[in-house]
Amino acid sequence: MKIGLGLYREQLNPDNYQFAVQAGATHVVAHLTNYFAGKDPKIDSGDAGGWGDCSGDRLWSFEELSGLVADVRASGLDVAAIENFSPKFWSDILLDGPERASQMEGLKQLIRDAGRAGIPCIGYNFSLAGVYGWTRGPYARGGAESVGFGVPGSTAPDPDAPIPDGMVWNMRYRPPVAGAAAISVSPTDLWDRLTRFLQDIVPVAEEAGVVLGAHPDDPPAEELRGTARLVNRVEKYDRLMDIVDSPSNGLELCLGSLQEMPGGDIYDHVRRFARSGRVGYIHFRNVRGRMPHYVETFVDEGDIDMAEIVRILRDENYQGVMVPDHTPAMTCGASWHAGKAFALGYMRALVQNAEALGPSRSQPISLAPQ
């Protein structure tokens, strides 16, 4: 079991690599999309007006990917994954639009280049509305700012607000066409698009030695903005894996999103997914409540017993990487770093303790003086 730190594009620098090493991480999950280009993420997150503009994004080149790997390795870390394609790269794959075929060729090239550069996994979220509908508030311990869904008394963005033409995943990938119809998709059509996508791309990923890791829906709503959601129930993760039976058709297993889904026992599911060998990497975060009302919490105060999750992963011999995912912002001059350092320290302790105890049938260590 390995611990990593997720870094956004503007955070990919030697200072943050050193911070990750200091906090006990050995890996980095890199976001290369600039989600908030020209915008303040705090103001725009969840806003119907969208995040940033990715219309100028160009496919990440082999040189860019191998440069990232070299920089990260120079700091004593390794790249576990890149997380999310720029919407610009695959808007018409998601929307079944006229550029679909050329965008598929682009993604295939990107995956080949990632494999050649030594990047073993790419996380993706097959969604039109993306992450949407949250509110921000003092929902975590001590009034730390985090995000919630359906929080009573909060003013959330309208869940039925249509997605404007030229936007997907909250980002603008091209200028709007006047008079264009609002985007909509049925569950059947969305699953058909995912099926075509996986059938086309997984063989390429296999050959490139890359695992494609599917993130579940965040939030796991039935529908958002007139568009179906894909993995909003745990069993739909199984459906996704069944489309192509390959180790390259894997999961970006988000514990918070799984816990937010209605029903089910997260421990059984995590055991099953870990045993399948199809977990690309893990988003290690906690949450209180579940759909339709939940809030994101510090890693140690939510409904998931994270120590039990780590024991399960140890028992299933999970060799992959876990990253903190979102963390509440702590009240200080470095709220993001403090939140990550807290999560990473807690994760380190759980992993060290679980590994010291050995397989689960052994006795817990007595803390009483000898």
Stretch that binds Mn ion, among 24-32, 79-87, 246-254, 263-271 (CB under 5 A): 246-254
Main-chain dihedrals φ then ψ at residue 233, nearest 5 degrees: -140, 145
Cis status of the peptide bond prior to 98, with omega within 30 of 0:
no
What tokens appear for 313 in the block?
């992963």
Window contacting Mn ion (CB under 5 A); options: 39-47, 109-117, 249-257, 306-314 = 249-257
The least distance separating Mn ion from the CB of residue 131, rounded to whole angstroms, comes to 9
Residue 253 CA to its chain's centroid (Å): 8
Total residues interacting with Mn ion, rule: CB under 5 A:
3
CB of 134 to Mn ion, least distance (A): 13
Give the nearest distance from C-beta 221 to Mn ion in angstroms: 15
Residue 127: CB minimum distance to Mn ion, A: 12
Give me the least distance between CB of 15 and Mn ion, in Å please.
24
CA distance 153 to 5: 33
**Window of 77-85, 171-179, 253-261, 296-304 that interacts with Mn ion by CB under 5 A:** 253-261
Under the criterion CB under 5 A, does residue 283 sit at the interface with Mn ion? yes
Task: Note whether 80 binds Mn ion by CB under 5 A.
Answer: no
Q: How far is the CB of 81 from Mn ion (least distance, A)?
A: 12
Contact residues for 335 (Cβ-Cβ < 8 A; gap 6+):
145, 329
Stretch that binds Mn ion, among 109-117, 235-243, 277-285, 330-338 (CB under 5 A): 277-285
Residue with smaller CB distance to Mn ion, 254 or 310: 254
Shortest distance (Å) from residue 268 CB to Mn ion: 20
Tally: H helices and E strands in the chain: 11, 16
Does 254 interact with Mn ion (rule: CB under 5 A)?
yes
In whole angstroms, the minimum distance from the beta carbon of 125 to Mn ion comes to: 9
- Alpha helix ranges (H) inside 161-228: 187-208
Q: What is the CA angle 204-216-55, rounded to 5?
A: 65
CA 41, distance to chain mean position in Å, is: 17
Taking the complex as a whole, how short is the minimal distance between the CB of residue 186 and Mn ion, in angstroms? 25
Q: Among residues 212, 220, 255, which one has the least CA distance to residue 236?
A: 220
Contacts with Mn ion in 311-370 (CB under 5 A)? 325
Cβ atoms of 258 and 284 closer than 8 Å: no
Q: Which is nearer to Mn ion, 115 or 213 (CB)?
A: 213
Quick one: 214 or 254, whose CB is closer to Mn ion? 254
CA 218, 34, 151, 326 torsion-angle sign: positive
Question: What residues between 109 and 148 interact with Mn ion by CB under 5 A?
Answer: none
Largest CA distance in the chain: 77
Specify whether the CB–CB gap between 121 and 80 falls below 8 A: yes
Nearer to Mn ion, 193 or 283 (CB): 283
Q: How many CB atoms lie within 10 A of CB 162?
A: 15
CB nearer Mn ion, residue 249 or residue 327: 327
State both tokens at 209.
């030695």
Cβ proximity to Mn ion: between 88 and 283 the closer is 283
CA 107 – CA 88 distance, rounded (Å): 11
Residue with token string 């745990």: 234
Nearest residue to Mn ion on Cβ basis: 254
- Shortest distance (Å) from residue 264 CB to Mn ion: 17
Q: What angle do CA 129, 135, 138 make, to 5 degrees?
A: 150
Interacting positions 174-203 with Mn ion (CB under 5 A): none
Q: 100 or 278: whose CB is closer to Mn ion?
A: 278
Would you say the C-alpha torsion 207, 208, 210, 215 has a positive or negative sign? negative
Closer residue to Mn ion, CB minimum distance, 172 or 283:
283
Cβ distance to Mn ion smaller for residue 113 or 325? 325
Which CB atom, from 5 or from 204, has the smaller least distance to Mn ion? 5
Stretch that binds Mn ion, among 4-12, 76-84, 278-286, 309-317 (CB under 5 A): 278-286
Nearest-angstrom CA–CA distance, 115 and 283: 22
The residues that touch Mn ion, with contacts defined as CB under 5 A, are 254, 283, 325
